[in-house]
Amino acid sequence: MIITLSVIKADVGGYVGHSSSHPDVLERAEQSMADAKKRGLLVDYHVTRCGDDLQLIMTHRQGEDDERIHKLAWDTFLSCTEVAKALKLHGAGQDLLSDAFAGTIKGMGPGIAEMQFEEREAETIIIFMADKTASGAWNLPIYKIFADPFNTIGLVIASNMHGGFSFEIHDVKEHRKITFNAPEEIYDMLLFLGSPGRYAVKSVYHRETKEIAAVSSTQRLSLMAGRYVGKDDPVCVIRSQGQFPAVGEILEPFAAPHIVTGWMRGSHHGPLMPVAVNDSNPSRFDGPPRVIALGFQLSDGKLVGPRDMFDDLAFDEARHQANIMADFIRRLGPFEPHRLPLEEMEYTTMPEVMKRLVDRFEQL
């Protein structure tokens, strides 16, 4: 059975501040999704949140980039924004950059990751969702999952993965893409992946079967809006088991927290802390950035689950380390490398400040 999995997310209002989501907003989204399922547009859905981001996980038979599915997500966000406005939640509707839907939700603010595939005998899916960080945050974990044998032993000892994976990488500033084959092109590939603000992994494919293995949201909110609105707070969908990495191989990179951009005012570096959904409430200095992981088995498109994958004692040490990293980097206050470099802050106050001060600069 051919099925499409669409994960579409937006921050439509935070509770309290940007730290979490209000149950009434989630409830409204739930109603909207239930209604679409009843009408037959959706096969199944799951509504959740990561911090202040509302996440719509949907399965359907409409394929990728389908106008009706995108419109459903857009209308759901609009409807949830009404709830957020009535409660005077913070930043109600902040990610909805336009008020006229024109066939696709792409470029309108929300983040989106979609994949269409033939459902396997057992279709294991892991969906990562992050808050207070940018779309390149997946580069390092995706690299480890699909190209690093120290993370994914299956690359070495499983014959159905030994041929490697190919990575489609998007240049989010120049709007172009390139595909690299791992393992033989990893040195070239890492040159790009190592700059996640500019180059982000869009998708990963199994090289022998050409099957889609992973897809992420690469939308950059600041580039869409032309100003700082909020961070991208990206999502990533990964197929697991069999010819794809095992669940444990997919979760393993998050056992060693890496540094991402985001956190307070989207302008800092900080550790990405893996947490259970209930702990995705970034409050310390509006952070540190969080990542949640929901696992599902698909059954004729039905989302069997979720299992809250980071709700596991084995990730306690990663959370502890992330807290230590947070303490350490916070000591730098407004200094780089805690605060982001100027080029990455151009959508904040720099243009205004520079405009005001430009005449006071003298040639050396």
- The least distance separating ligand F6R from the CB of residue 256, rounded to whole angstroms, comes to 24
- In this structure, is the dihedral angle defined by the CA atoms of residues 254, 312, 204 and 196, taken in order, positive or negative? negative
For residues 231 and 239, which CB has a smaller minimum distance to ligand F6R in the complex?
A: 231
Distance CA 262, CA 94 (A): 16
Q: Which is nearer to Mg ion, 11 or 123 (CB)?
A: 11
183 contact choice in ligand F6R, Mg ion, none (CB below 5 to 8 Å, kind-dependent): none
State the Cα–Cα distance between residues 222 and 139, nearest whole angstrom: 19
265 makes contact with ligand F6R (CB under 6 A):
yes
Residue with tokens 């805690």: 338
Say if residues 268 and 231 touch (Cβ distance below 8 Å): no
Listed in sequence order, the residues at least 6 apart from 21 whose beta carbon sits closer than 8 Å to its beta carbon are 14, 15, 49, 51, 52, 53, 54
Catalytic-residue membership of 231? yes
| 210 among known catalytic residues | no
Tell me how far, at minimum, the Cβ of 94 lies from ligand F6R, in Å: 7
Active-site hit among 37, 171, 228, 311 = 228
Query: Minimum distance from CB of 24 to Mg ion (Å)?
Result: 17
Contact stretch for Mg ion (CB under 5 A) within 31-39, 109-117, 227-235, 243-251: 227-235
Question: Of 195 and 283, which has the nearer Cβ to ligand F6R?
Answer: 283
Tell me which of 9, 11, 52, 232 is the catalytic residue: 11
| Residue 11 binding Mg ion, by CB under 5 A | yes
Kindly name the residue from 132, 144, 202, 231 that is annotated as catalytic.
Answer: 231
Cα–Cα distance measured from residue 43 to residue 339, given in angstroms and rounded to the nearest whole number? 44
**3 state SS of 59:** strand
CA 347-50-126 angle, 5° bins: 110
Q: Stretches 38-46, 100-108, 257-265, 331-339: which one binds ligand F6R (CB under 6 A)?
A: 257-265
Instruction: Identify the residue among 61, 71, 91, 348 touching ligand F6R (CB under 6 A).
Output: 91
**What is the x/- site pattern for ligand F6R, positions 9-48, by CB under 6 A?**
--------xx------------------------------
- CB proximity list for 199: less than 8 A, separation 6 or greater: 136, 139, 169, 170, 171, 172, 192, 193
Q: Which residues contact 51 (CB under 8 A, 6 or more apart)?
A: 14, 18, 19, 20, 21, 131, 132, 233, 280, 281, 282, 290
- Confirm or reject binding of residue 95 to Mg ion (CB under 5 A): no
H/E segment holding residue 357: helix 350-357
Pick the binder of Mg ion from 114, 123, 131, 252 (CB under 5 A): 131
Shortest Cβ 95–ligand F6R spacing (Å): 10
Q: Can you tell me which of 22, 60, 231, 269 binds ligand F6R, judged by CB under 6 A?
A: 231
Mark whether 228 is an active-site residue.
Answer: yes
Question: Does residue 53 touch Mg ion according to CB under 5 A?
Answer: yes
**Interface pattern 95-134 for ligand F6R (x via CB under 6 A):** -------------------------------------x--
Instruction: Give dist(CA 12, CA 75) in Å, integer.
Output: 12
- Please, which residue, 222 or 240, has the CB nearer to ligand F6R? 222
Closest CA to 260 of 137, 82, 175, 90: 137
Least Å distance between CB 127 and ligand F6R?
21
CA dihedral 76, 78, 84, 86 (to 10 degrees): -120
Q: Position 363: which residue type?
A: Q
- Element housing 92 (H / E): none
State how far the Cα of 276 lies from the Cα of 200, in Å rounded to an integer: 25
Contact set with ligand F6R (CB under 6 A) = 17-18, 91, 132, 230-231, 262, 264-266, 286
| Residues classed as catalytic | 11, 228, 231
Contact set with Mg ion (CB under 5 A) = 11, 14, 18, 52-53, 131, 230, 233
